[in-house]
Amino acid sequence: MKRFFFLFAVLAFSPTLLKAEPFQTVMSTPTVSLSDSVVQWNQCSDDNGLTTYWANVKGSQVIAFRGQGIVDAPMEKVASIIIDTTRGTEWINSLVLSKMVRNISDAEFIEYDHVGIPFPFDQVISDRDFVSDVNVKYDAKTEWMTVSYKPTEDSAAPLIKKYTRGIVDCEFKLVRMSMPDQTYVEARVFTDPKGSIAKWLVNFFQQGWPQDTFEGLRKQAAKKDIEILPLVAELMKKTDEDKIVEKN
């Protein structure tokens, strides 16, 4: 809420930001990758079982963020929460719509997300939307699961005139802890909302992403009606079966 008051003050005293942001109708080609463009992670906080970091990214003025901590739920439940587009609006801040556009394989799909701008800022800043190539992988040897999001284009998710198409490069790494109902989670994200918003303002608002994400994950994980997605169950079962075959 403090960030919204701050933005209101900025808009009130900055004529350049009060001018309505033009709609973006042309896809912006991603120019950076979180995996190979991070300069150095710098710790910024360590509180409530969550350690957060920030990093400069080569080729961009937008900062990347990372968080790591424990979520009190089994790994398959945490993974299902992250992947399930039908319930994303329950725990992801400002998410208006999330949907699977199409399947590519048993563990890869295209996802569309629409993020809303709250009133009254929606009068000068357009909503953002994102199209991502989502990959889910599980390594039975290390017991790590990764859910990665890479910016992409897809004919089934065309540009919408009234929104600005941004890019997001994000990865969740999950590992089962010694306690069966605990999962270690590491989340990294680089999100460029594009458009005419000043990059320093983007960084100011996005600095809360790790805290918001982990708080949302933890609250969602406490719900009793979370179902394990078939994608997650089958991926873990298949990989574990392959591991048994290798041993024999």
Q: How confident is the model at residue 9 (pLDDT cuts 50, 70, 90)?
A: very low
When the pLDDT of each residue in the chain is averaged and rounded to a whole number, the result is 85
pLDDT at 118: 84
**pLDDT surpassing 60 at residue 1:** no
Q: Which two tokens stand for residue 62?
A: 């937008």
**pLDDT surpassing 90 at residue 239:** no
**pLDDT surpassing 90 at residue 10:** no
List pLDDT tens digits, range 32-46: 556 667 778 999 999
Q: Which two tokens stand for residue 26?
A: 């042309």
Per DSSP (E only), the strands in the chain are 42-47, 50-55, 64-71, 95-105, 108-115, 128-139, 144-151, 164-165, 167-176, 183-192
Which of these, 116, 126, 111, lies nearest to 161 by C-alpha position? 126
**pLDDT surpassing 70 at residue 25:** no
List pLDDT tens digits, range 164-188: 999 999 999 999 999 989 999 999 9
pLDDT at 20: 53
**pLDDT surpassing 90 at residue 92:** yes
**pLDDT surpassing 60 at residue 236:** yes
pLDDT at 240: 55
Q: How confident is the model at residue 119 (pLDDT cuts 50, 70, 90)?
A: confident
pLDDT at 147: 98
Q: What is the mean predicted confidence (pLDDT) over 82-91?
A: 97
List pLDDT tens digits, range 193-212: 999 889 998 999 899 999 99
**pLDDT surpassing 50 at residue 216:** yes
Helix (H) or strand (E) holding 13, with range, is helix 2-13
pLDDT at 24: 55
Residue with tokens 């089994």: 74
Give the Cα separation of 180 and 224 in Å (integer). 16
